[in-house]
A and B are shown apart, each in its own frame.
Chain A
Amino acid sequence: MSGLRGRLIVTVVFAAALGATAAAWAGVQQSTASLFEAHRRYHTEDLAGRITQAAPSAQYPPGRGSLDRLRIAAGEHSLVRYGDAASGDGVFASGAQVVPAELRQAMNAQADSEDPRVLTQRVRIDGRPWLLIGAPVMITAPDGTQAPSGIEVYAARDLTDVEEQVDGLVRGAATTTLAVLPLAVLLALLASQGVLRPVARLRETAQRLAQGDLAARTEPAGVDELARLTRTVNDMAASLQDSMESMARMEEDSRRFAADVSHELRTPLTTLTATVEVLHDILPRANSTRSADEEEARESAQLAVIETRRLVELVEDILDIARIDAGTAQPRWEETDLFEVISTCVRTRGWSDDVVITGPAAGPGGPTVMADRRRIDVTMANLIGNALTHGGAPVRVVITATSEGASVQVIDSGPGMPDDVLPHVFSRFYKADAARARTPGSGLGLAIARENALLHGGEITAANHPGGGAVFTLRLPRAPEPATGEVHQEQGE
């Protein structure tokens, strides 16, 4: 049972039980009181009637016989007293000591009254309930005036039956109260459901929203706080959906833009690449005694080839970085042996003479990571190329297996980097020396290297090696975060 539901039910049941008990108790009290009052009235009137009948025939002052007669007229369990003389039977058989002091005092107090009343008190004698009635006997003078006679009649009436009736009432009330409880639980369940169902629906909606179903809504019911909360949640979901949609639109736009730019730039570059190579091919083969024009044409063709290649590289780099920025880069993760990739990278670029690679050799036990082979190749080519151009040969590449994955250090033999350059080396198009002539490369190499490292869930840092030279450190986790792309699956089977 959920917390809210439990509390609701307990509260409702408790309130219902309290109400039922209070009502039953009040009813029992009232019934009991009127029951006793009815009996009291009946018995006092009955006794008064008996005495009124018997009193005229009594002698005055009464003798023993008169007292006895009066007692018999008063019925069972009666006591008739006059001064010290008394006649009693039943509970009064042993005298007046069962009459409580309060009643006796009250009788004494009104002894000289001209209009004494019949007094009653409920007592327990030997565990049984009795109604004690005390009645003074009046003498009626011939002129009709009445005066106290000094005779007192006490009568005891058994209230056992009445008490049993009261007990019955209490039992009835208790039973009713108990019978109400399951009903109260049922009502509480219904009530809690009425409250909790909208809450549950709201929770379900919130869950679906969290899972990315931005169209999830709850129909608000009623006008209470829950309905208001529901409307607020709906509004929130709607604005969330709006901003997600506009973000998706922007992303789609930038994706299309990157694709369009890509296409628009690649098309003329294709012609340029093809034709400058044709030019370059033809011109050197001009006859051996070249004219100045031919010499200049040949040089121009060579420049055109170099610059076209550079332009192509630049466009590729810009598009690559744009794809990463737009989050549309789709790395192809595969188990990659770093030593193997880096040695191949160095070998195919003709750097073998200037680069020394140290680290665990390829094969089982060597540092392998889940990585995009092409991107690791590009990253390492950029780092090593940068080290060779701006630092100096020999360049050391140190591969180490770490607890998280692997780290690769590229250490050059140059003078190291000035401290004010260090924070900017990964900035796009950053030139350490503004006055320096253009260097090979797009100016995006280190920026792309860093983006690729981030794409792998790793990082690149730049520092100066204590032993001299600049050191770039690439750290790669054993596997990228699952969210960054799908692991390349081999097809088949």
Chain B
Amino acid sequence: MSPTIGGVATVLLIEDDALVRRGLQLALKRHGHRIEAAEDGEDGLARFGIGGADVIVLDLMLPGMDGFEVCRRIRESSQVPIIVLTARGDDFDVITGLEAGADDYVVKPVRPTVLDARIRAVLRRAVGDPDGVRTHRGLRIDTEALAVSVDGREVGLTPTELRLLLALSRAPGRVFSREQLLEEVWEQGYLGDSRLVDNGVMRLRAKIETDPARPEYVQTVRGFGYRFGPV
């Protein structure tokens, strides 16, 4: 995975509506992305298996295998960033999509500039300047190689999870509000959905904490947000 800001990223667009698929394809191409388009879940999984992708834009309402299932299947083997597209705009889709492993979501109709900004945000891996290796108990974060290991065991994080961990661990003990994390990790303004943060923390904990219910590294500060470090 090599895409960076300004680089050409391969976007796998899984969308069943032919016109929407073509429209988004035209628009994203103008923003400098290379688009692979798939018309349903099976097609999407097959294309991802063959050519891979830097980011997946996934419609949730698909014939046959729905978007949630596609999302779960991809997460079984890959940390590729996933942005889900929902046409219902209701909370059920959003929550279920995030729980299935999506990094972000957009509600149709989405403006191409907004979708492009989200794609670039989920593709970015680093946050801040690399400052060597940070270690906290069994957790080891290499900010240059962008590698994370727990008790010597390598942990695969999505770019979003990595950015979240880098942001929090940059200042151990400091409390970050959800809005700050939304801004820094998801590059979304104050009206962004704070559930992105909650869900990201949940998935991060599942990967790095021994007991996610009693976290060692990422603590909840009730009413404020999150902080990194001991209780």
Contacts and interface: CB of A to CB of B under 8 A. Distances in A.
A269 B112 CA distance: 12
Given A348-B189, A490-B223, A492-B215, A270 B198 contact: no
Interface residues of B, number: 38
A263 interface: yes
Contacts of B20: 267, 270-271, 274
B17 A267 contact: yes
Interface string A320-361: 000000001010001100000000100010000000000000
Interface string A341-383: 0001000100000000000000000000000011001000000
Contacts of A278: 23, 26-27, 30, 112
Interface in B107-138: 107-113
A377 B191 contact: yes
A50 interface: no
A348 B190 CA distance: 9
A106 B23 CA distance: 137
B89 A262 contact: yes
Contacts of A319: 89
B220 A491 contact: yes
A27 to B, nearest CB: 82
A32 interface: no
A277 B111 contact: yes
A335 B222 CA distance: 12
A245 B209 CA distance: 46
Contact residue range for chain A? 20 to 34
Contacts of A377: 191
A200 interface: no
Contacts of B24: 270-271, 274
Nearest to B223: A335
Contacts of A374: 191
A54 to B, nearest CB: 121
Nearest to B17: A267
B61 interface: yes
A259 B27 contact: no
B151 interface: no
A268 B191 CA distance: 26
Contact of A263 (B88, B189, B214, B219): B88
Contacts of A275: 23, 26-27
B161 to A, nearest CB: 15
Contacts of A259: 88, 90
B124 to A, nearest CB: 23
Nearest to A320: B89
A262 B191 contact: no
Given A274-B24, A319-B89, 9 more contacts: A270-B23, A275-B23, A275-B26, A281-B30, A490-B223, A491-B202, A492-B202, A493-B214, A493-B215
Interface of B: 17, 19-20, 22-24, 26-27, 30, 61, 87-91, 107-113, 189-191, 194, 198, 201-202, 205, 213-215, 219-220, 222-223, 226
| 3 A-B pairs with least C-beta separation | A492-B220, A271-B23, A269-B109
30 contacts: A259-B90, A262-B88, A266-B109, A267-B87, A270-B24, A270-B87, A271-B17, A271-B22, A271-B23, A272-B23, A273-B112, A274-B26, A274-B112, A275-B23, A275-B26, A275-B27, A277-B27, A278-B30, A319-B89, A334-B194, A344-B190, A348-B189, A374-B191, A377-B191, A490-B223, A492-B201, A492-B215, A492-B220, A493-B215, A493-B219
